[in-house]
Structure 1
Amino acid sequence: MAEWDEEVDLLVAGTGAAAMAAAIAAADEGLEVLVVEGSDSWGGSTAMSGGGCWLPTHPGMAEIGVDDSEEKVLTYLDACVGTPEEVGPASSLERRRAFVRTAPVVHGWLEDHGLEWKTAKAYPDYYPDLPGGIAGGRTVEPAPFDVKQLGDWYGHARETLPPGLPLFAGDTYLLARAWSTPTGFVGGARLVLRALGGLVTGKRLTGLGMSLAARLMYIAKVQQRTEVRLDSPVLDLVVEDGVCVGAVVGGPRGERRIRVRAGVHLGAGGFDHNAEWRERYQGLDSEASSGNPANLGGAIDVAMRHGADVALMDDAWWGPSVAPTSKGGPTFIVSERSMPFSIIVDQEGSRYANESTSYVDFGHAMIERGLERTNHSWMVLDARHRRRYLNNAFLQGAKTFYEEGVAVKADTLEELAEKMGVDKATFKRTIQRFNSFARNGVDEDFGRGHDAYDTYYGDPTHGPNPNLGEIAHGPFVALKVVLGDLGTKGGLLTDEHARVLDTDGGVIAGLYAAGNTSASVVGRTYPGAGSTLGPALVFGYLAGRHVAARAAEVAVEGAVDRAVGEPAEPAPGA
């Protein structure tokens, strides 16, 4: 056997929510943990996210007077995700129960480590009308974090939000209408006061997903003194007799063989920007992902080489996105398509979905429509939409959009249809029918504006339906919309302890995975805001706890071997 370069209890790959939860949980139990990050920036997709975490039954729900229970959540998951039998082992009943039972534990555990949660009491589940659904409260988000506490290390973060902008995810939908509705104006004013408060107190506050990533990094690196190495990808695993006993890790010092006494945890993201895999598993000739550019599937690949099974590889956290330009993008769109005075049509000029539905559902509708990356849709905007609401895509600069054909503009709908390249007659009929729905307040084709999720991103001052507004006032703008995503959803198949399973359904002892490196517990849908980060934290935590228990078993077995005069076996299976 080749010699080992170093030895730890737990080796963690990645620096997003799943990885850091595992590292923190294991260190809590006294384990020696080493965290390795394959890119030159820490934080992963977590740092790029909205920061919301779907943690049903968490203690904050009772504080706002919302009743929740394990039974209610499981009923809801059956209704919106499908039964475990329908979805498959990634969403087994055991994994669902483990998630639901552990979610409130993780909420309190991170509070004990200093993370302050804010309950998003107005943010509904994505299917609030289904059995077990709730119109607000299951999602929590981290309070703004002072990145000065990380010192120079913050300079290596995958920063997407300027420090000094302490945003909550709940601020974003209010800011979208900050100059057109009273509640939007109040929301914008609160953000300004929060930012000024940080400046006055000498803090460098950040929000959204960067706040969560930075807080987790602070707990691990500063409070627990866990070593974190950048530019250090896991190149291979060392598996002996079905047991993962170590890994080969790259880095500035060259390849190093690291022995683990208890386990390896893979939380290094999905394969968002691996063009070969996106084509192989999802049939895409290109990708327009808003996920971490460093997510190339390396952690999934090394586990598969050692017999690990995968699931849901054909799926992703889909969502419509404004097509990228030479200046940036793609731009994931949420509130923009839900506000009144907007509509989305295909290249024939026809609607095909509820524009206000959850982004995953809209993405699946695009796929069912046969809309590949090169077969785009158009988001058509009445002049009132441009005047009243913020459109994040235009923050890149409207000039680039028009120059590169991602946006077209016209004084009449007929001229707009010509510039879009859609059938004029079909487009005219679509607009006329949609406008009649807007006047009557009922979308008879797709039900836009029918539930609490739709109206959350609508305009409460507009009636009779806060999501429907006529497309009638020019100049009109159309933005090219492609199938985008927040990252891939498929990955390594794991059990309720986050242990990786092999292709025969057995456990690969000592190997764990969570986050987008693993196949999602919520299957092919998106139950509520934070359905990526919530399970990532929970299964990362469960992995760290299981590794600690495994380390204790290894220590006991080693002590017994020494007591009877036999040499201890290195890291036996569990």
Structure 2
Amino acid sequence: MTSGERAEDTYDIVVVGSGGGGLIGAYIAASRGLRTLLVEKTDRVGGTTSYSGAGLWFPGSAPIERAGVPDDVETARTYLRSVVDDESREGLQDAYLDAGPRLVDELERNPWFQSFRHDPVPDYFAANPGSSPMGRTIFPPEIAADVLGEHAAIVRPCIPEERWGQAEGPVLHGGRALIGRALGAFLETGNGALRLETALHRLVVEDGRVTGVTAIHDGAETTIRATRGVLLAAGGFERNAALRAKYQPIALTGEWSNGAPANTGDALLAGIDAGATTDLLDEAWYVPGLVQPDGLPVFQSGLRGGIWVNADGERFVNEARPYDQAGHEIAARHVATGVPHIPAHWILDQRQIDRDGFGGPPDQPVDPAWFSSGALRRADSLDELATLIGVPPDALRATVEKFNSDAEVGVDTRFHRGETPWDQIFHHVVPFPFRPEMNCPASPTPDFPNPLLLPLDSPPFYVAEIVLSDIGTKGGLKIDERARVLRADGGPIAGLYATGNTAAAMSGRAYPGAGTPIGSSLAFGYLAVLDAAGAAG
């Protein structure tokens, strides 16, 4: 120990970041008797996980078996191989598939986690071999805030509460439930400590091994030793405009991201400074973002009607397809065609608004703030709407006429909207904000054979804006099957691990199913701690 360090600043494991992978990794370490410190840059725990539905894509796990859903790891492996189609990631895929069920079994032995449940969220690539129409996604049960006591106050709010003050109430759902349960379990071990408002500054490297971190709290720098290892789980760099401009094909500033506000790539840069190699820095978990009355987008999924058109007034995608695919389509076409697709224009009519509402529950009128802010605009005719959004009127009319003729027979001849198991879950009334773990009541659509294809022929017409958002970047430090961070020569950096969006994604450029990002974060956080604890394998 060098001069100026304090004895209490030595731990077995130091975890940087308190999202799903960080908190679960910290719990796994502390439950094994390892003195574990979790450091979090902000005043709340949970990161982007708190904004999510907390889906975990864990094929072959016990909750899927309990639900009676046909599934096995080998079939899932076939599916994952076909979707990712990258031999260099097969080892990571195998480690992930092995870790998921084991981790769930271990968590469910602790009353804090109770029993995860399976809800039917279809795999995202329906045509690929091994795809499951019922999906392989499990969810944590909700938890009452009073069970967490004073710790409930430090769980990051969901987006509606954080952005607009729409409090979730006395029960934590989705990602907040997962974070709350993991926080309670971690602290109850008696081996875990939490430091909020403590930012990673750099990694301590001695003789080629990471032996701790330096962190900043209240303007003062502290060195914290880690005798077993450091796990970086601090999210991606989605909120860092300079890094996005440097590495990504569309220089998004991060303002449109649905990642946690503090995700500026600190852990990524610290890993690079320590000699780590990187991968997929040009990638993100892209999603369409519906611009809200406050001028910023929210992750858009669950589209049931209307169409998206580009600056030429042309439709360009199945608007209901899985969000990552739709987001990537927007990005690819914006870059490759020379035609602006950001923003895309979401065209609806009065029949659509009457059936599904807009920006709130279907049975409530549209909040006037949508109109007063300009986030939703109205026109009496398609030509007037075209002028309003600056697209060629003839092109917009032709696009709508083609869509309407398809709607009459219920077949989207251009983009096949409504034909996959994923699309068909939106035959139901979808809550706002969309949470795929919720059971949604069926919504009958008389007179039209496909409830996802209602003709646009009932004025007035409406338009909202769709921009390119994300739920985090997906490139980062390159890791191996034990979540060890790698150097450019392929060897591991001793004592350094990474998971979540701090690490390059196991799934490469693909998004196989709901819960892949958080599932990966938990699985590799688990594997990292097993390795650091000497219990890998």
For the criterion TM > 0.5, the same-fold answer is yes
Letter in 2 for 1:402: F
- What is aligned with 2:179? 213
CA-CA distance at 1:400 after TM superposition: 4.2
- What is aligned with 2:262? 294
SS in 2 for 1:265: strand
Mapping 1:3-42, distance limit 5 Å? 3=3, 4-5=5-6, 6-42=9-45
| Alignment match of 1:391 (pick from 358, 375, 381) | 358
Which deviates more, 16-25 or 110-119?
Answer: 110-119
Task: Give deviations 1:340-374, integer Å, cap 9, x for gaps.
Answer: 3x111111110111111111111111112116998
Equivalent pairs counted in the alignment come to 503
- What is aligned with 2:508? 523
- What is aligned with 2:331? 367
Which deviates more, 477-486 or 380-389?
Answer: 380-389
Matched, 1:140 2:134: no
Task: Give deviations 1:89-129, integer Å, cap 9, x for gaps.
Answer: 4xx21110111111111111111122134433421111233
Task: Give deviations 1:15-41, integer Å, cap 9, x for gaps.
Answer: 111101211111122111011001121
Letter in 1 for 2:117: T
The question of whether the paired residues in 1 share the 8 Å contact of 2:357 and 2:366 is answered with: no
Task: Give deviations 1:495-524, integer Å, cap 9, x for gaps.
Answer: 111110112211001000101111111111
CA-CA distance at 1:149 after TM superposition: 2.7
Matched, 1:259 2:247: no
Task: Give deviations 1:49-81, integer Å, cap 9, x for gaps.
Answer: 111111111112222322222221111112222
* Greater helix fraction, Structure 1 or Structure 2: 1
SS in 1 for 2:157: coil
SS in 1 for 2:516: coil
- What is aligned with 1:184? none
Letter in 2 for 1:13: V
- What is aligned with 1:377? 344
CA-CA distance at 1:454 after TM superposition: 0.7
1:292 & 1:373 partners in 2: Cα distance? 27
The question of whether the paired residues in 1 share the 8 Å contact of 2:311 and 2:340 is answered with: no
Mapping 1:288-367, distance limit 5 Å? 288-325=256-293, 327=294, 329-335=296-302, 337=303, 339-340=304-305, 342-367=306-331
SS in 1 for 2:223: strand
2:314 & 2:160 partners in 1: Cα distance? 39
SS in 1 for 2:313: coil
The question of whether the paired residues in 1 share the 8 Å contact of 2:21 and 2:233 is answered with: yes
Quote the sequence identity (%): 35
Which deviates more, 405-414 or 523-532?
Answer: 405-414
Letter in 1 for 2:268: I
The question of whether the paired residues in 2 share the 8 Å contact of 1:497 and 1:543 is answered with: yes
- What is aligned with 2:204? 238
The question of whether the paired residues in 2 share the 8 Å contact of 1:119 and 1:137 is answered with: no
- What is aligned with 1:456? 425
- What is aligned with 1:446? 415
**Structure 2 unpaired stretches of 5+:** 162-167, 429-441
Matched, 1:103 2:100: yes
The question of whether the paired residues in 2 share the 8 Å contact of 1:284 and 1:373 is answered with: no
1:161 & 1:480 partners in 2: Cα distance? 19
SS in 2 for 1:457: helix
| Alignment match of 1:503 (pick from 480, 484, 488) | 488
- What is aligned with 1:49? 52
The question of whether the paired residues in 1 share the 8 Å contact of 2:79 and 2:130 is answered with: yes
- What is aligned with 2:120? 122
CA-CA distance at 1:398 after TM superposition: 4.7
Task: Give deviations 1:525-569, integer Å, cap 9, x for gaps.
Answer: 21111111111111111111111118x9xxxxxxxxxxxxxxxxx
1:142 & 1:124 partners in 2: Cα distance? 18
SS in 2 for 1:479: strand
- Cα 1:400–1:232 shift into 2, 3 Å: same
CA-CA distance at 1:329 after TM superposition: 3.1
The question of whether the paired residues in 2 share the 8 Å contact of 1:117 and 1:140 is answered with: no
- What is aligned with 2:158? 160
Letter in 2 for 1:217: L
Letter in 2 for 1:349: G
The question of whether the paired residues in 1 share the 8 Å contact of 2:34 and 2:191 is answered with: no
The question of whether the paired residues in 2 share the 8 Å contact of 1:34 and 1:228 is answered with: yes
The question of whether the paired residues in 1 share the 8 Å contact of 2:334 and 2:340 is answered with: no
Matched, 1:411 2:380: yes
- Cα 1:141–1:392 shift into 2, 3 Å: farther
Which deviates more, 382-391 or 449-458?
Answer: 382-391
- Cα 1:391–1:107 shift into 2, 3 Å: farther
The question of whether the paired residues in 2 share the 8 Å contact of 1:120 and 1:140 is answered with: yes
Mapping 1:50-65, distance limit 5 Å? 50-65=53-68
The question of whether the paired residues in 1 share the 8 Å contact of 2:358 and 2:366 is answered with: no
The question of whether the paired residues in 1 share the 8 Å contact of 2:244 and 2:253 is answered with: yes
After TM superposition, the score normalised by the length of structure 2 is 0.89
1:308 & 1:393 partners in 2: Cα distance? 45
1:429 & 1:529 partners in 2: Cα distance? 35
- Cα 1:507–1:225 shift into 2, 3 Å: closer
| Alignment match of 2:240 (pick from 263, 269, 274) | 274
The question of whether the paired residues in 1 share the 8 Å contact of 2:310 and 2:340 is answered with: no
2:189 & 2:352 partners in 1: Cα distance? 47
Letter in 2 for 1:316: A
